[in-house]
Structure 1
């Protein structure tokens, strides 16, 4: 399973399976999946002593030549050493920090981001770099701890997956209070049961000129496959096509072979709930739209996390 998953990840984008699905399936089959790290990751996803080590290619916007330079210059003990030995530009350092790929340097995402901001690019001339390092000697600042929900959101933004959790698990109590089932509970429901279930949208498909829309959503327990007839789709087009996080209401249908589909009757767009992933007593990072950060964790122009919290679903047009 580890070799198969690595090959599929290295071949992305392909098919209707997102990286998060592939990694979760591997973990469900007892594959040890290890995080991206500057001291261990190559460009590609690779097998490492029986485990799957995620590659630097998973970081959105990262360049292969940077990964090659990192692999050739290892090991590193500090971010400054990484920048100097691998001759990395500032953007590469920022992307590595935002992807939480500096753990072996004893830097988590927030501390790494702060250090990347203070570390001069090795592309600077020698004396300019020396002056910049002198100017960068600032007093130590006690950074607030980043909540796990925000880590998960940032992981999805940077790598389209997270080994720390699933976005839906942090919203579970709220949805459970509304009587909304998990995907696993929907899959276990009796034939004919009327249910509501919620999840992150993975795919929306309309085969050929068919009169049905097939929707797949995912939460921390699995996936739900829903079918929506075209006549109902036309009445709810906006909610169906715009949702990043969707609530589906419908009737469970179970075939003799045990295949479960949710025959959808009503779709609700709950994408705005994703804002809650970044709300914490100590940290407040508001979102400009339902699924975009409006401000970075630390100030700089053109933050790479000014992107969607969740990767785009695979849709028909």
Structure 2
């Protein structure tokens, strides 16, 4: 189009580009008049007939109604193809790249890592002796695995991580060795301890905080000593405590999913797992309960008021659909829930399963201090 008006009507490169930009804003031909006159006059000057010039303007107008979205569709199709190829042939690199590009897109880091693990990709935790600022790939018995980076720790700055990495010219031998070589502040050390980044140097988070609170070992006389035996050992955190700490510091956990701990509670025993949905009969009167962390909420302007909610349980994702007639009734549950129970019919279309909701229950109280995040789109 740019080349056409430059050759046929004598447009400059700048004028032709202005025409291209205007193509995206034309609605039913509005805004064409300015370019119409210039195109026709330019073509008449160059010996073309008025009939031909008018026909060309009409074709440009027609192209303006579909050409811009068509070009966008082609661009997205190319991105989708490339992304699908990378995910198919280099899956570990695909997930690692998405993690390092956060915040972006539709899925949270927790969802991405769970999907990676379901596809057989090992994920290794943050470790002061192994992690970089960004997540990286490591070898795992001849196949790549993902090593989480310091960037996912809430409240940890890149500057702090760089100080750590500069001091790591050889592996840290103990937490005291780490403290001496990095000279990080108490708050920075506690941030790392909260994320269990000292897992190579201590037994668990409680042990890390116990050692950080040991003021005597920080005195000059004891700084170079390595303790081999301690009279007191902090207790081992329970799995629930570990999950709360994981989500609070990184927004995800490699230990377990909260739903795996709640399944035994009577409140959730009737809830179906995401992995069960494909096997259920498609009976029009069958209603089931599902439950999960609220991962995404969507209310697209093009969906006529329909709300789409994605739940995340220990085995995958559950797509739920709430009709406009129910949105106001369950407004609080839709907007405020961290953990949501949904009852509805199972609907499958082109291999995608949705729960058509008729009842929603906020079950967030069961999470206690656990604070998973969601992606909300309007």
Displacement, 1:117? 2.9
Alpha-carbon deviations, 1:138-194, whole Å to 9, x = none?
x84332221112212211111111111101100011157641212222343222321
> What does residue 288 of structure 2 align with?
195
SS at match of 2:128: coil
The alignment partner of 2:297 has SS state of strand
> Deviations 1:121-141 (Å, cap 9, x if unpaired)?
99xxxxxx64997xxx9x843
Contact 1:88-1:121 at 8 Å conserved across structures: no
After superposing on structure 2, the runs of 4+ consecutive aligned residues of structure 1 that deviate more than 6 Å are none
Shift of residue 120 of structure 1?
A: 9.1
Partner of 1:24: 114
How many equivalent pairs are there? 274
CA offsets 1:76-101 (integer angstroms, 9 cap, x no match): 11112111211211111101111111
Unaligned residue ranges in structure 1 (runs of 5+): 123-128, 276-291, 293-308
Structure 1-normalised TM-score? 0.81
Structure ID, larger Rg? 2
Corresponding position of 1:4: 94
Which residue is equivalent to 2:28?
none
CA displacement at 1:270 relative to structure 2: 0.5
The C-alpha deviation readout for 1:31-53, integer Å capped at 9, x for no partner, is 12111000000100011122211
Decide which structure has greater helix share: 2
Q: Secondary structure at the match of 1:103?
A: coil
Name the counterpart of 2:180: 84
| Cα distance change, pair 185–20 in 1 and its aligned pair in 2 (3 A) | same
TM-superposed deviation, 1:116:
2.1
Alignment of 1:252 onto 2:343: no
Judging changes above 3 Å, is the alpha-carbon distance between structure 1 residues 35 and 119 closer, same or farther for their aligned structure 2 residues?
A: farther
The equivalent of 2:202 in structure 1 is 106
Partner residue of 1:164 out of 238, 242, 255: 255
1:61 paired to 2:122: no
Query: What residue number does 1:312 align with?
Result: 373
In angstroms, what is the RMSD of aligned CA positions? Answer: 2.3
- SS of residue matched to 1:23: helix
- Larger RCO, structure (CA 8 Å, separation 6 or more): 1
Q: Distance in 1 between matches of 2:306 and 2:360?
A: 14
